[in-house]
Structure 1
Amino acid sequence: MLMPGHALPHPVAMLRVFLILSLPLTLIFCIGGSLPLAKADESHYAEFYTPPSPLPGDSAPGDLIRSEPSRLVLEPSGQLGAFVADGTRIMYTSTGAKGELIAVTGTYFEPHNPWPGNGPRPLIAFSTIPYGLGDQCAPSRMFNQGMHASVGNSGFDLMLNFEETFIATMVARGFAIVVTDGEGLGTPGIPTFLNRLSGGQTLIDAARAAMKLPNTSLDPNGPVAFWGYSSGGAASASAAELAPTYAPELNLVGAWAGAVPADLSLILPYADGSILVGALGYLLNGIAAAYPELAQPLSTTLTPRGVEMFERNQVMCLVETMMSFGLRHAAPYFTTNPAELIAAEPLKTVIDAQRIGRLKPQAPTFILANRWDPFVPWGGGHQLALDWCAQGADVQFWTNEQPPFLNKTATNHLLTYWVDGERSMQWVADRFNGLPTTPNCGAI
């Protein structure tokens, strides 16, 4: 049951918006590499985002460390539209990639509208697409700004809050939302990008922390669903299969995961030459952050251009990454064939450890994949569905057949999210309303 009158923007309108945004990016990405290093002034965030040291000794994953009101805007002025919700910035404890207790930040959205469905107000724990590795890219900061821009002596940096249309629609329909920043984003350190354990655990613990916030409309034992697309899809899928053992007390009713990079070994041929090739720098930084012992061996595999990409990516948001490194080939960044590098030790074992699909989710899952996705291949999401089905999980796998279009710009990867947004939110609403699932394991 969904509230009428709060639909996502029509796919054609979203296509128009995407083209308007992508054309200027395409024109200026080629000069991005000559621009000075971007470094935004985020000093006013420092106090909240600096964790206590040490963390409270009696802390458990999902405990709240601190919270404060958070201004929510759809665009920088805050005058053009609004979230129908109140925002709270949170810092909470979770388990990092190395198994240690860490501090993570995020945003909780308390809807103004009532929940029109069955049972208590539901909570969606939301993991975003890759926003970048720089602290200024943290979703919890982007919700204060709508769009981040930094120019002048600090260089050029730009980031759009791509997923605000989803979150604004969800809260208008009565869903409570908690969006995690993930490990190392906003808080000190380098994000452990696409690390399976870190991504899943920080998303689960965001839900736990939201349930502990005072003065919300949530029932502490109320229903929860996970949501994520692209790297967020990996976090949602990982959370779904980790939850039975990591958070058995959570009332998890479903997990929606789109464009899931379930097998990282498949991505390189797709990313090579695309506008998102710079995300390889995110992955290398994520590996070095999660496995510090590999940082030095990894550095020896990089050319000077590769070292520049690796270091610059640590302070960049996604749009600058596309402009600085997009539409290049990966080979000039490495001293050896990058395909051979990821197929050999020690990266082979590390990348294999991020494989999603070896554990069985107990809650229903929905996997969305575009047949011609130019960045996260359809085959990875399809195999994830097969792996979960083989273990007896409740899986609905949906293939978006949007035909290839400007694939090096990753249009199919990004636009699929909005094209199937309504279908996806209806599936989540059905889980909260207790409707029967429609698994299709026998037809995939």
Structure 2
Amino acid sequence: MTTDFHDVSTFDGYRPGDLVRARPVFVSQLSGAAGAWQVVYASANSRSELIPASGIVLTPEVVARPGDTAILVYSPGFRGLGGICTPSQLLAIGAEPDTTGIAAALARGWVVAIPDGQGLGITGGGPHTFLAARAGARTVLDLARAVYRRADLGVAVAPVLAWGYADGGRAVAAAGELHPWYAPEVDLRGVAAGAVASDLAALAPAFSRGRGAGLGLAALIGLSHAYDQLPLRDVLNEAGQRAAMEAEHLTGSELLERFPQPVSHWCREPDPWNDHWWRRVLELETLAHTRPVIPLHLYHGSADAIVPVSAGRRTLIAYRQRGTQVSWREYEAGHHATAASATGDVLARLGETLTGPPPRERARPSGEGEHASRP
């Protein structure tokens, strides 16, 4: 469903968070949505260069009363590097695979804004920058800015909440870290992030072979797009280069089916993650370098075979060591079941943060700021 609406050939005169264009769409899967707009807006990549991004903004049938209303920026898990996997387009054609959390947030009277993420939605912008949390964080915060700045979407200014799962969880967690210097005008009150690994090296075993091997190849491709100024793709052999060209256009399910081979099959060396440049990128993409000034809720499934719960617990410890106001919930379930089971708890936790003081009234972490957050 990529059309001229998603084709941005000129991009002069915009700043991150500016809305480039919007159009109303019908979302047949969400009876609780009074209105829906696909949007194209300005954001920035991991080098702070201006880029176009896309998403969708949904308004509820009944807006919550003042004090309970919010703009929820919802960042779903990995859907693919390309193909028909863009959230805003899946909703517009009635093919979104998981609307549970979106519907529940609309039922609370919240506006829901869903970023497609860097590399998805915009014509010629792919592949998706899978696992590049700091690039994803910018699309999260800039979509909140875009909603703030355009009254013709019919959305009143309200406190902002952010929620994401797995890859989307990493993006919203990073948004909490970048927020004080990147988008301080956004009234971000709370973040909920599920199945988050602060250290990407913790994912290497699950992503290198077995059921997650296709995700390992996707990680190589997504991160190499986010950091395309580095020679990251040099780790791929000739077969890997051909596989990468094909994988850039595939959804998540297609990736898992098409590339079951161990990641080492596509690489020059058995352990591509140990390459000098890759070690540098994994370090840059580690979360919990700084303390978010807003409350953070983390949750994880104890039987998660994709993102090990041990990685989630280490994320919790890392944030606690920074002095973050963080809560934790563990579910006796696997990766996908946890995503569904946690919906009620997550929305309740986020709802509690609406009564707290806005970020500008909280003490800023001593010695932390833009220099500490930039990759």
Asked if these proteins are the same fold (TM beyond 0.5), I'd say: yes
| Residue identity opposite 1:182 in structure 2 | G
**Distance in 1 separating the partners of 2:19 and 2:33:** 24
1:423 is the counterpart of 2:310: no
User: Counterparts of 1:63 and 1:349 in 2: how far apart (Å)?
Assistant: 32
How far apart are 1:394 and its partner, in Å? 0.7
- Determine if the alignment matches structure 1 residue 209 to structure 2 residue 146: yes
Cα distance in structure 2, aligned partners of 1:236 and 1:111: 22
Distance 1:360 1:251 in 2: 17
- Structure 1 residues 189 and 218: CA distance shift in structure 2, 3 A: closer
Q: What is the CA-CA distance between 1:115 and the residue it aligns to?
A: 0.8
Of the three residues 20, 24, 37, the one matched with 1:65 is: 20
Aligned-residue identity in percent: 26
Residues 121 and 219, structure 1, Cα contact 8 Å, conserved in 2 = no
Residue 219 of structure 1 deviates from its aligned partner by 3.3
Secondary structure of the residue that 1:426 maps to in structure 2?
A: helix
**How big is the shift at 1:83?**
4.1
Q: Residue type of the partner of 1:271?
A: F
Residue in 1 that maps onto 2:69: 121
Q: How much does 1:382 deviate?
A: 1.7
Matched, 1:49 2:14: no
Displacement of 1:229 in angstroms is 0.1
Q: Is the 1:282–1:313 Cα contact (8 Å) retained in structure 2? A: yes
Counterpart for residue 38 of structure 1: none
| Aligned residues of 2:72 and 2:163 also touching (Cα < 8 A) | yes
Give 1:184's aligned amino acid.
G
- Letter in structure 1 aligned against 2:268: T
Q: Larger C-alpha radius of gyration, 1 or 2? A: 1
Give the secondary structure class of the aligned counterpart of 2:248.
Answer: helix
Cα deviation digits, residues 15-56 of structure 1 (max 9, x gap): xxxxxxxxxxxxxxxxxxxxxxxxxxx4xx321101141x13
Displacement of 1:430: 1.8
Match of 1:230 among 153, 156, 166: 166
Q: What SS class does the counterpart of residue 275 from structure 1 fall into?
A: helix
What is the alpha-carbon distance in structure 2 between the residues aligned to residue 216 and residue 189 of structure 1? 25
Q: Check whether the contact 1:303–1:332 (CA below 8 A) recurs between aligned residues.
A: no
CA distance in 1, matches of 2:330, 2:286: 21
1:174 aligns with 2:109: yes
Could you tell me how far apart the structure 2 residues matched to 1:361 and 1:293 are? Answer: 28
How well do the aligned residues superpose, as a CA RMSD in angstroms? Answer: 2.0
TM-score (normalizing by structure 1): 0.76
- The offset of 1:360, in angstroms, is 0.8
Separation (CA, whole Å) in 2 of partners of 1:230 and 1:415: 13
Matching residue's letter, 1:425? L
Structure 1 residues 229-285: Cα deviation after superposition (integer angstroms, max 9, x where no partner): 010000010001110111111111100000013211111212244433212222112
1:310 and 2:244 aligned: yes
Mapped pair 1:275 → 2:211 = yes
* Matched residue, 2:84: 136
- Which of the residues 304, 310, 329 maps onto 1:379? 310
- Alignment-mate amino acid for residue 12 of structure 2: P
Structure 1 residue 67, shift from structure 2 partner: 0.5
CA distance in 1, matches of 2:318, 2:251: 33
Aligned counterparts, 1:229-308, within 5 A: 229-295=165-231, 298-304=233-239, 306-308=240-242
Unaligned runs of 5+ in 2: 358-375
Q: Report which stretch shifted further, 210-219 or 382-391.
A: 210-219
User: Once the two structures are superposed, what CA deviation does each residue of 1:296-339 show, in whole Å capped at 9, x if it has no partner?
Assistant: x52453351x334312211111121222224x43332223212x
Partner of 1:386, secondary structure, is: helix
Contact 2:235 2:269 in 1 (8 A): no
Q: Does the 8 A contact of 1:226 with 1:256 survive in 2?
A: yes
Aligned equivalents of 1:90, 1:301: Cα separation in 2: 36
Q: Conserved in 1, the CA contact under 8 Å of 2:72 and 2:112?
A: yes
The answer to whether 1:333 aligns with 2:266 is: yes
Deviation at 1:372, TM superposition (A): 2.9
- Per-residue deviation at 1:71? 2.0
Task: Report if the CA contact (8 A) 2:206-2:212 is conserved.
Answer: no
CA-to-partner distance for each residue in 1:208-231, whole Å, 9 max, x for gaps?
1112232455433x2101110010
Which amino acid is 1:129 matched to?
G
CA deviation map 1:159-195 (0-9, x unaligned)? xx23312112211221101000111211122222211
What are the ranges of 5 or more consecutive residues in structure 1 without an aligned counterpart? 1-41, 75-80, 148-160, 403-411, 436-444
Q: Measure, in 2, the Cα distance between the counterparts of 1:105 and 1:395.
A: 30
1:397 paired residue number: 328
Give the letter aligned to residue 48 of structure 2: G
Equivalent residues of 1:227, 1:233 under 8 A apart: yes
1:303, 1:330 → 2: CA distance?
A: 13
1:369 maps to which of 288, 293, 300: 300
The alignment status of 1:323 with 2:257, answered yes or no, reads yes
